[in-house]
């Protein structure tokens, strides 16, 4: 993904990056090392970017949004560390995970520590509406993780279950990021809502795109092997389509329901899903969400930075990734 | 431990108990089951009790403290679920742990969910000083967990390391509970500080007592087998004393440094530690903390409920448990 969208907030994103490192400053060396490792592993910093871009709609000087942008990335990072424990992942974003470097125990506490650090930043705003929004999102994200876990290798779960999973996995925190950018600028309720929905729809589109890439991406670009979802029993939109419409649907059902077969026949499953048209279908659904996101922007004040938010949706609509 | 200390807040504690159950109300069944299981496993509800007793010093109607009391117990429960994952504990408080019933994954998410639930209660107070105190304590608690983990089977760590561990494991959250009871009553800074220190010293005394009981208690009363600390490599005060002053100190050092030997010779280690006078020494240290706790109370307004807080310290001083 190109980063031209972020030009208006480039300086602020650099400050976020520096703060991410400074903010993890524990007196316990191993906690510092694990957290620093996590920060330096990089990532697109999408949540900070969305909070900053959203705020930029309402005012030019958005320095007061930077701590919140940092907190949002810390919360995201905390969920990643815990996911690594759970998925037994050894690689994320192309580098070693905290878990594989330091073990399960450190990962759980590092996740909790990073989350608490985010809370302490949030406390500095002295606004309980923000905490309320984040506490609510955190609960829903946990619920989503459990739903995802319970749905592993379960081929009977349908579209509704999938949408619920990706909503909680990705869309919610991106939605909250956009929302909080506006809330901190004391935007009016209509504008806050438009950005919240923009983030929600865009987050849905993003996750579907991500799920597509797990089938078709270059492993080097992806930073992890393709087919990881399949091996972990995470049945995403392309597979859901194939399970319904592929000529091999019965065979696919048998394979996708079994951890052993998913591991042994990953490449075969990928090919069958692509052949079924599942990728095109997923692109279609993703585009529909991106379009909905774009529509929400129409309600917002007509300022330059709105173009950037719109371009991000366009990027998905044009399948540029 | 007798519950007479809690008579002045009995009604409020009952409401806390009811609210603990109502507050875990997720749309995801397994999350509800795991959490409900955790609540119904009981516990002494010390943190709620301390928040309520502390508040009662400043005013009679303490209904507005009840949500905070619930939040404090939820935070405590969240750390217990995560500890269960980490310690591979199958039994806590005499009943099955969430982990052994539902697996590691559910435990991590259940812990995160319960913590987020606590945050949402805290948000309802609209006071960022409270969030600040709790975020700070949460970070320190995580650090303590890591320190404890890194110190397993490490016989070179001394008293300072032990005190730091129990501070973060127990004293901090009890201290915060007392502190927040006063903060929510808008008590003056001197009184807030006195209660914060009272909670801190008492928490230290409690944990030392707990560590003693792991050597000498009746397994049925304890709700878990004696010697669990030894088997998990957690070297507590009685053992620290024995490592320094026992005639068998060299043998003990060899045993306590090895997970295998700790498991094979638990009873022998217990006996050697008791023979060394380690238990009496730990009682002595615990009493000193309880005495310090009691001294803090002198600064507080002279109301009836102060007697209850003092009696709790007395209970430890008289070794009544």
Structure tokens at A124: 């500095």
Own/partner pairs, B58-62, CB within 8 angstroms, 24+ separation? B58/B182, B58/B185, B58/B186, B58/B187, B58/B191, B58/B301, B59/B185, B62/B9, B62/B12, B62/B185
Residues on chain A touching B30 (C-beta within 8 angstroms): 146, 150
Q: Which of A107, A146, A99, A229 is nearest to B103 (CA)?
A: A146
pLDDT tens track for A59-103: 999 999 999 999 999 999 998 888 877 655 545 555 566 665 566
Chain A residue with CA closest to B118: the answer is: A135
Which residues, including other chains, have CB under 8 Å from residue A157's CB and lie 6 or more apart? Answer: A151, A235
Locate B59 and state its tokens. 């005013």
pLDDT at residue B277 greater than cutoff 90: yes
**Which of A24, A98, A109, A151 to probe the B interface (max B CBs under 10 A)?**
A109
| Residue whose C-alpha is closest to residue A103's, from A90, A117, A116 | A90
C-alpha span between A244 and A230 (Å, rounded): 17
Max CA distance (Å), chain B: 59
d(CA A142, CA B116): 9
Residues of chain A whose beta carbon is less than 8 angstroms from a beta carbon of chain B are 26-28, 30-31, 82, 85-86, 104-106, 108-110, 112-113, 115-117, 119-120, 122-128, 131-132, 134-136, 138-139, 142-143, 145-147, 149-150
User: A82 vs B108: CB contact, 8 Å cut-off?
Assistant: yes
The alpha carbon of residue A208 is apart from the nearest alpha carbon of chain B, in Å, by 23
Residue A170, number of CB atoms within 10 A of its CB? 24
If one counts every other C-beta atom within 10 angstroms of the C-beta of residue B169, the result is 21
Reference A161, options A171, A150, A172, A170; nearest CA is A150
Q: pLDDT-derived band of residue B98, with 50, 70 and 90 as boundaries?
A: low
pLDDT confidence of residue A101: 56
| Among B71, B106, B139, the residue to mutate for chain A (most A Cβ within 10 A) | B139
Enumerate the residues of chain A whose CB falls inside 8 A of the CB of residue B28: 143, 146-147
Q: Which residues of chain B lie closer than 8 angstroms to A123, CB-CB?
A: 128, 131-132, 135
**A–B interface: beta-carbon pairs under 8 A:** 128
Q: Write out the two tokens for A38.
A: 């996590």
Residue A121 has pLDDT above 70, yes or no: yes
Provide the shortest C-alpha distance from residue B25 to chain A (in Å). Answer: 11
Higher pLDDT, A102 or A9: A9
Taking CB atoms and an 8 Å limit, are A27 and B143 in contact across chains?
yes
Residue contact B85–A104, C-beta within 8 A: yes
A149–B112 C-beta distance less than 8 A: no
Give the burial class of B130: count Cβ atoms within 10 A of its Cβ; 0-12 exposed, 13-18 middle, 19 or more buried. buried
Q: CB–CB of B30 and A150 under 8 A? A: yes
> Which of A67, A88, A142, A169 to mutate against chain B (most B CBs within 10 Å)?
A142
Question: Does B132 sit within 8 Å of A123, measured CB to CB?
Answer: yes
For the cut 70, the answer to whether the pLDDT of residue B244 exceeds it is yes
C-alpha span between A161 and A157 (Å, rounded): 6
CA distances from A42 to A35, A37, A72, B151, B221 (A): 12, 9, 15, 31, 50
Residues of A in contact with B70 (CB under 8 A): none
Residue B252 Cα, gap to closest chain A Cα (Å): 27
Asked if pLDDT for residue A3 goes beyond 70, the answer is: no
Mean pLDDT of chain A: 90
C-alpha B244/C-alpha B122 separation (Å) is: 45
Q: For chain B, which residues make up each domain, given as ranges?
A: 4-317
pLDDT interval class at B163 (50, 70, 90) = very high
| pTM for the predicted model, two decimal places | 0.89
Question: Does the beta-carbon distance from A135 to B123 stay under 8 Å?
Answer: yes
CB spacing of B109 vs A26 below 8 angstroms: no
With bands split at pLDDT 50, 70 and 90, how would you rate the model's confidence at B269? very high
Rounded to whole angstroms, how far apart are CA atoms A70 and A72?
5
CATH architecture designation of domain B4-317: Orthogonal Bundle (1.10)
Q: Is the pLDDT of residue B293 over 70?
A: yes
Predicted local confidence at residue B139, as pLDDT: 92
> A301: which 2 tokens?
């004040």
Describe the crossing of helices A46-56 and A172-184 by its angle, rounded to 10 degrees. 30
Whether residue B282 contacts residue B276, with contact meaning beta carbons closer than 8 Å, is answered with no
Q: Using an 8 Å Cβ cutoff, are B178 and B187 in contact?
A: no
Please write the tens of the pLDDT for every residue from A173-208: 999 999 999 999 999 999 999 999 999 999 999 999
How many Cα neighbours within 13 Å face the side chain of A251? 11
pLDDT of residue B93: 52
Give A161 to chain B, closest Cα distance, Å: 12
What DSSP letter does each residue of A26-81 carry, written as one string?
A: -SSHHHHHHHHHHHHT----HHHHHHHHHHHTT-S--GGGHHHHHHHHHHHHHHHH
For residue B104, the chain A residue with the least C-alpha distance is A86
CB-CB neighbours of A244 under 10 Å: 14
């Amino acid at each position: 993904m190109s980063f031209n969208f972020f030009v208006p907030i480039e300086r602020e994103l650099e400050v976020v990056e520096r703060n991410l490192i400074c903010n993890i400053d524990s007196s316990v060396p191993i906690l510092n090392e694990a957290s620093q490792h996590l920060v330096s592993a990089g990532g697109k910093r999408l949540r900070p970017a969305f909070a900053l871009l959203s705020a930029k709609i309402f005012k030019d000087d958005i320095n007061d949004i930077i701590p919140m942008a940092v907190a949002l990335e810390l919360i995201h990072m905390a969920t990643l560390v815990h996911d690594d424990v759970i998925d037994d992942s050894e690689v994320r974003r192309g580098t070693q995970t905290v878990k594989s470097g330091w073990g399960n125990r450190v990962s759980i506490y590092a996740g909790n520590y990073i989350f608490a650090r985010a809370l302490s930043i949030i406390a500095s705003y002295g606004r309980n509406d923000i905490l309320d929004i984040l506490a609510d999102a955190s609960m829903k994200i946990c619920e989503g993780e459990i739903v995802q876990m319970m749905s592993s290798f379960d081929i009977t779960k349908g579209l509704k279950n999938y949408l619920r999973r990706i909503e909680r996995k990705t869309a919610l925190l991106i939605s909250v990021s956009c929302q909080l950018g506006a809330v901190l600028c004391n935007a009016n309720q209509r504008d806050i809502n438009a950005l919240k929905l923009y983030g929600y729809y865009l987050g849905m589109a993003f996750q579907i795109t991500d799920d597509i890439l797990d089938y078709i991406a270059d492993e080097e670009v992806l930073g992890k092997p393709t087919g990881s979802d399949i091996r972990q029993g995470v049945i995403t939109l392309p597979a859901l389509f194939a399970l319904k419409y592929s000529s091999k649907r019965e065979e696919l059902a048998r394979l996708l329901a079994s951890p052993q077969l998913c591991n042994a026949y990953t490449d075969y499953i990928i090919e069958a899903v692509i052949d079924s048209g599942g990728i095109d279908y997923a692109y279609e659904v993703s585009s529909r969400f991106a379009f909905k996101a774009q529509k929400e922007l129409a309600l917002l004040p007509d300022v330059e930075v709105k173009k950037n938010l719109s371009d991000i949706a366009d990027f998905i609509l044009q399948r540029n990734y």
